[in-house]
Amino acid sequence: MNIWVADAGPLIFLAKLGRLNLLKSASDEIYVPAGVMSEILAQSDQASVAIANSSKTWLQVQNIKNPTAVNLLLADMDLGEAEVITLASELNAAKILLDDLDARRYARRVGLSAIGTVGLLLAARLRGEIPSLKNEIDQLQNHGFWISETLMVNVLKEAGEF
């Protein structure tokens, strides 16, 4: 079973792009910790509505079973990231979707496979699911997403767009 656990940031940015379907097509099951979903729903915008609608069909909201593990991770990351890593461990997830580089590095150190929003978009571009990674990144930046120039050049080269 190909299980993914997603953090708020990537879900929100994918929803703003109208690309939540890319996450759905990448995995058999996608989970979001209940606390992360509460964080998302605290906003009242089109992205949170799209995510809430997804939670009625394919995006599964799951409670954390080990809050102590979450509390231990709070020394190194924020609550949402700690919940994502904890839930991914509990579910033996194949992949976690996180944008915070330090949280992704930590996840990899503990044996979890991590990807960010840009990595997910790159994979979709390489599969031919989106016509232009550059356009997607431009739209992300218009929505407040930050990406380093180096990373942008590297992913655009990998996508054959640079």
Alpha helices in 18-160 (DSSP H): 20-26, 34-41, 46-54, 67-73, 79-91, 101-109, 117-126, 133-142, 149-158
Q: What stretch of H or E contains 12?
A: helix 8-17
The DSSP call for residue 76 is: T
Is residue 26 pLDDT above 90, yes or no?
A: no
Instruction: Please tell me whether residue 147 adopts helix, strand or coil conformation.
Output: coil
Is residue 1 pLDDT above 80, yes or no?
A: no
pTM: 0.94
Q: Which domains does the chain carry?
A: 3-118 (3.40.50.1010)
Region 18-46: mean pLDDT is 94
Region 24-36: mean pLDDT is 93
DSSP per position, 30-52: EEEEHHHHHHHHTS-SHHHHHHH
pLDDT digits (tens, 9 = 90+) for 105-155: 999 999 999 999 999 999 999 999 999 999 999 999 999 999 999 999 999
Q: Two tokens at 85?
A: 């890593």
